[in-house]
């Protein structure tokens, strides 16, 4: 064995710099987050016309809102006049219009320039032409996705296609009726790690038996290290004694009626590149969005979705939430423990992936492809 060849059991990871170099992160922002479909909000957060959220997508701030006709709209959060940031709050509500706090250029919820000082003296300034610059939007599974590309890629191929690749068909996820579920809990994690470490962690289960004792208790097959994401259409089966997907294996909440018999008592996990993870269990759905903010920092927002009557009646979902909240904390601790090692001299050429992690190699190839860089091995 030479220093550059690896035994057959192992394949190489990305080099350490891929997780630490701000220039590489900037390329990822440009070539991945600003060109692909990016999930920004739960549709139900935008409760009525004028409700808004601002979200950083790549290097851009995006304003997501609901127009008078109840349609979801997204715009660059930048005034067309002199470039001031229009909305600085993370979320809020305007009555009728977005107004720039600098010179009071005022935009309707449909993005049109409604008013500006002396505007009537400038009849040649088009109200649409100088309106807010729109961004493509789509709603699916009760979530809002935006795409900053001038010509957005096919949502069906890029987003729905990822689910089809994992589950076999889109119907498998649609049976959970996610758009009509209610948010029973939302937890936001501030993770001091590169976004790719988080994705890689979600993709493999080699770590499960070591850091996820509760999860492995509920899903005993996780002890063999093969993730639910390893096989197409496979859902990990609950242990025999396990009543529900809860921190102590006790009974869960009311089963989602659309869930098929062969999906019952099973856990499915899906990664929708570049920033969404979905976990499906019979009584709830766990939906993660990652917001990469720096080369070594990622905000993860996670929703637990239940049948509306479960949430409305105030049923106790805490044991259910606690299971995956613990899993998340265990995972993010591991990612944070890994981040400093990425800049070690010892890790300059990266590490290795064992056979049950080899599918992560496909993720690395994908990153190279998006950035137009050569594969390291």
Partner 1 sequence: MIPACPLADLPRGEAFRLEIDPPVSVFHTEDGELFAIDDTCTHQDASLADGWVEGCWVECPLHASKFNLKTGAVDAPPAKRPVRTHEVLVEDGMIYVRLSAATPNLPPCVATKLAGVLA
194: its two tokens: 């590169």
Number of helices (H), then strands (E), belonging to the chain: the values are 10, 18
Residue 121 sits in the site that holds partner 1 (CB under 8 A): yes
Among 104, 294, 348, 354, binds partner 1 (CB under 8 A): 104
Q: CB neighbours of 11 closer than 8 A, spacing ≥ 6?
A: 352, 353, 358, 361, 377
Among 118, 124, 241, 257, binds partner 1 (CB under 8 A): 118
**Choices 97-105, 137-145, 173-181, 364-372 (CB under 8 A): range interacting with partner 1:** 97-105
**Choices 110-118, 168-176, 311-319, 331-339 (CB under 8 A): range interacting with partner 1:** 110-118
Residue 96 sits in the site that holds partner 1 (CB under 8 A): yes
Task: Note if the bond before 206 is cis, omega within 30 degrees.
Answer: no
C-beta separation of 146 from 136 below 8 A = yes
**Choices 36-44, 92-100, 222-230, 297-305 (CB under 8 A): range interacting with partner 1:** 92-100
Q: What are the helix (H) ranges across 185-249?
A: 195-203, 208-211, 213-218
Among 31, 115, 170, 187, binds partner 1 (CB under 8 A): 115
Task: Report the nearest approach of partner 1 to the CB of residue 64 (Å).
Answer: 23
**Choices 94-102, 154-162, 287-295, 299-307 (CB under 8 A): range interacting with partner 1:** 94-102
Which contacts of 349-353 are long-range, i.e. CB under 8 A and separated by 24 or more positions? Answer: 349/12, 349/15, 349/16, 349/376, 350/12, 350/13, 350/14, 350/15, 350/16, 350/18, 350/376, 351/12, 351/13, 352/6, 352/10, 352/11, 352/12, 352/13, 353/10, 353/11, 353/12, 353/13
CB nearer to partner 1: pick between 115 and 209: 115
**Choices 108-116, 159-167, 207-215, 329-337 (CB under 8 A): range interacting with partner 1:** 108-116
Among 114, 197, 227, 307, binds partner 1 (CB under 8 A): 114
Residue 116 sits in the site that holds partner 1 (CB under 8 A): yes
C-beta separation of 50 from 26 below 8 A = no
Task: Report the nearest approach of partner 1 to the CB of residue 105 (Å).
Answer: 9
Residue 48 sits in the site that holds partner 1 (CB under 8 A): no
CB nearer to partner 1: pick between 7 and 123: 123
Residue 106 sits in the site that holds partner 1 (CB under 8 A): yes
Task: Report the nearest approach of partner 1 to the CB of residue 78 (Å).
Answer: 20
- Look at residues 62, 53, 4 and name the one whose alpha carbon lies nearest to residue 33: 62
CB nearer to partner 1: pick between 103 and 297: 103
Task: Report the nearest approach of partner 1 to the CB of residue 95 (Å).
Answer: 8
Q: For residues 298 and 188, what is the distance between their CA atoms, to the nearest angstrom?
A: 11
- Look at residues 134, 91, 92, 95 and name the one whose alpha carbon lies nearest to residue 112: 134
Q: For residues 336 and 322, what is the distance between their CA atoms, to the nearest angstrom?
A: 21
Task: Report the nearest approach of partner 1 to the CB of residue 112 (Å).
Answer: 10
Binding site for partner 1 (CB under 8 A): 96-97, 99, 104, 106, 114-121
């Amino acid at each position: 064995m030479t220093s550059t060849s690896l035994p057959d059991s192992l394949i190489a990871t990305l080099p350490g710099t891929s997780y630490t170099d701000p220039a590489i992160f900037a390329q990822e922002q440009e070539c991945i987050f600003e060109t692909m479909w990016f999930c920004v909000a739960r549709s139900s957060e935008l409760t009525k016309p004028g409700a808004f959220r601002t979200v950083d997508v790549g290097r851009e701030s995006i304003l997501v809102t609901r127009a008078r006709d109840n349609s979801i709209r997204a715009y660059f959060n930048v005034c067309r006049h002199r470039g001031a940031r229009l909305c600085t709050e993370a979320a809020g509500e305007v009555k009728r219009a977005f107004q720039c706090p600098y010179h009071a250029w005022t935009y309707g919820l449909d993005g049109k320039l409604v008013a500006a000082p002396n505007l009537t003296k400038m009849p040649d300034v088009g109200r649409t032409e100088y309106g807010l610059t729109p961004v493509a939007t789509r709603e699916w599974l009760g979530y809002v996705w935006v795409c900053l590309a001038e010509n957005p890629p096919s949502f069906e191929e890029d987003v729905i296609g990822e689910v089809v690749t994992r589950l076999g068909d889109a119907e498998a996820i649609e049976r959970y009726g996610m758009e009509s579920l209610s948010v029973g809990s939302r937890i936001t994690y501030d993770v001091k790690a590169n976004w790719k470490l988080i994705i890689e962690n979600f993709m493999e289960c080699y770590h499960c038996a070591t850091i996820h004792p509760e999860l492995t208790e509920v899903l005993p097959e996780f002890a063999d290290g093969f993730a639910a994401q390893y096989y197409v259409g496979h859902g990990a089966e609950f242990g025999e004694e396990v009543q529900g997907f809860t921190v102590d294996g006790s009974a869960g909440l009311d089963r989602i009626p659309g869930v098929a018999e062969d999906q019952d008592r099973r856990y499915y996990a899906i990664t929708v590149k570049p920033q969404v993870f979905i976990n499906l269990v019979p009584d709830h759905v766990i939906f993660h969005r990652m917001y990469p903010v720096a080369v070594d920092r990622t905000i993860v927002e996670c929703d637990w979705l239940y049948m509306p009557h479960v949430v409305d009646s105030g049923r106790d979902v805490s044991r259910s939430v606690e299971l995956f909240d613990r899993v998340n904390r265990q995972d993010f601790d591991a990612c944070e423990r890994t981040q400093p090692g990425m800049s070690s001299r010892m890790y300059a050429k990266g590490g290795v992936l064992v056979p049950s992690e080899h599918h992560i190699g496909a993720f690395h190839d994908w990153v190279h492809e998006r950035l137009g860089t050569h594969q390291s091995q």
